[in-house]
């Protein structure tokens, strides 16, 4: 037997999406970025001129919806702005105000709060009440996003266990499209949409491994299980149903694919692909909460470890499919959730296992997650207990 730990995708994503949209509308009415006052510039210092030009540029990028480019510029110029004595309070205020806007638009709510609080401390103020209202709304958003924060007291890490032992080397992905009653068909178009999403998740995982001087190569094997008569008797009416029926779905899928067990199926894929690691992903074309069952100590003789992605191919409000694929895959490599751990609210807030980001590439893979998936040897310090399996 092996230990399985239920892992949910970040929060109730759909539930909060509409809250975010409403709050964005409210905040947009408080103080439009385009109408902020400009400051006259009387200096011959080229470094100062360049910094002020960059502040204006990050504001323009944010206004144009180019949030990732704006974020990169924001992080590049923050320390030079703080170090330059020629930057006035007005320009620091404008920097932190726009910094908060950029993080808000990327759903980096902890970072947005930090930026706007710094803006509040500047002597130069154009609309203190409006900024206070932004912070009040942001506080409510964080409260909503942290509804599950006290579920766990510790972090459970399982580096180097199971068929997806480490995020390194050649990784074979066994990707199984499953058609259940009530879910959309896996048409060629829908499979292509899922495939494109996986490519983005693939690139993100490879890039994050490269950040820790590791090389990752993915190969993918695609399978479709949609006509097995036993599938018609599986009813999924809730997120909990999806978890309860996981074992049954896997048994049916393995039967349809001619495999005696999920473990045997994984071993076959590993041998055929000459891979170091194997990920088993089941994708149901339905919008629910995704989850993973990773091996913690030893894998079960039948099921091994697996993840379920419940994402509808037509759901394009944000990069939720790519996010779920990357997030659940990291569980199989040994990472735990951070979003439900007491004490992790301000710990690595941009980590993909903590808060969701509007764009996958606005998410990070920080030290704790990196250690949990085998990218770092030394366990980092944390404000909460960590158990290593």
Rounded-to-integer distance, Cα 302 and Cα 263, Å: 6
At 127 the pLDDT is 76
Q: Where are the domains of the chain?
A: 32-126, 151-388
Task: Give the mean pLDDT of the chain.
Answer: 89
The 10s digit of each residue's pLDDT in 115-137 is: 999 999 999 867 788 999 999 99
Query: What integer is the mean pLDDT of 159-173?
Result: 96
Q: Is the pLDDT of residue 277 over 80?
A: yes
At 43 the pLDDT is 63
**Antiparallel, parallel or unpaired: β 155-157 and 291-293:** unpaired
Q: Is the pLDDT of residue 187 over 90?
A: yes
At 318 the pLDDT is 84
For residue 63, what pLDDT band results from cuts at 50, 70 and 90?
very high
Closest CA to 114 of 130, 128, 127, 95: 95
DSSP 139-174: HHHHHHHTTTTTSBSSEEE-TT-SSS--S-EEEEEE
At 42 the pLDDT is 58
Q: Which residues contact 314 (CB under 8 A, 6 or more apart)?
A: 184, 190, 193
Assess contact for 334 and 160: CB atoms under 8 A: yes
Query: What integer is the mean pLDDT of 297-317?
Result: 89
The 10s digit of each residue's pLDDT in 219-262 is: 999 999 998 999 999 999 999 999 999 999 999 999 999 999 99
- pTM for this entry: 0.87
Q: Is the pLDDT of residue 54 over 60?
A: yes
At 125 the pLDDT is 67
Q: Is the pLDDT of residue 8 over 80?
A: no
Polymer length in residues for the chain: 389
CATH number of the domain at 151-388, out of 3.40.390, 3.30.429, 1.10.3470, 3.30.450?
Answer: 3.40.390
Helix, coil or strand: residue 388: strand
């Amino acid at each position: 037997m092996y230990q399985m730990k239920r892992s949910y995708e970040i929060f109730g994503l759909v539930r909060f999406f509409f809250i975010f949209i409403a709050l964005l509308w409210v905040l947009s009415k408080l103080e439009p970025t385009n109408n902020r006052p400009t400051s006259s510039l009387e200096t011959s210092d080229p470094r100062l001129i360049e910094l002020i030009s960059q502040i204006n540029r990050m504001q323009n990028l944010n206004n144009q919806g180019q949030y990732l480019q704006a974020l990169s510029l924001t992080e590049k110029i923050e320390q030079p702005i703080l170090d330059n004595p020629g930057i006035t309070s007005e320009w620091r205020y404008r920097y932190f105000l726009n910094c908060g806007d950029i993080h808000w638009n990327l759903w980096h709510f902890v970072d947005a709060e930090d930026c706007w609080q710094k803006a509040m401390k500047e002597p130069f103020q154009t609309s203190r009440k409006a900024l206070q209202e932004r912070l009040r709304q942001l506080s409510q958003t964080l409260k909503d996003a942290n509804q599950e924060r006290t579920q766990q007291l510790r972090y459970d890490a399982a580096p180097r266990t199971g068929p997806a032992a480490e995020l390194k080397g050649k990784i074979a992905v066994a990707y199984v499209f499953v058609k259940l009653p009530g879910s959309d068909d896996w048409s060629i178009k829908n499979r292509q949409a899922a495939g494109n999403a996986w490519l983005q998740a693939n690139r993100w995982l490879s890039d994050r491994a490269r950040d820790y001087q590791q090389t990752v190569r993915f190969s993918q094997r695609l399978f479709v299980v949609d006509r097995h008569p036993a599938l018609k008797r599986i009813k999924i009416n809730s997120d909990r149903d999806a978890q309860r029926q996981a074992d049954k779905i896997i048994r049916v899928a393995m039967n349809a694919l001619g495999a005696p067990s999920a473990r045997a199926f994984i071993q076959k894929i590993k041998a055929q692909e000459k891979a170091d690691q194997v990920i088993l992903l089941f994708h149901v074309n339905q919008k629910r909460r995704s989850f993973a069952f990773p091996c913690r100590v030893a894998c079960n003789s039948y099921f091994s470890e697996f993840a379920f992605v419940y994402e509808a191919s037509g759901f394009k409000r944000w990069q939720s499919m790519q996010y779920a694929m990357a997030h659940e895959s990291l569980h199989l490599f040994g990472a735990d959730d951070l979003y439900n751990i007491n004490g992790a609210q301000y710990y690595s807030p941009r980590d993909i296992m903590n808060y969701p980001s509007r764009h996958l590439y606005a998410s990070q893979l920080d030290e704790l997650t990196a250690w949990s998936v085998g990218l770092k040897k030394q366990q980092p310090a944390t404000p909460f207990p960590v158990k290593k399996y």
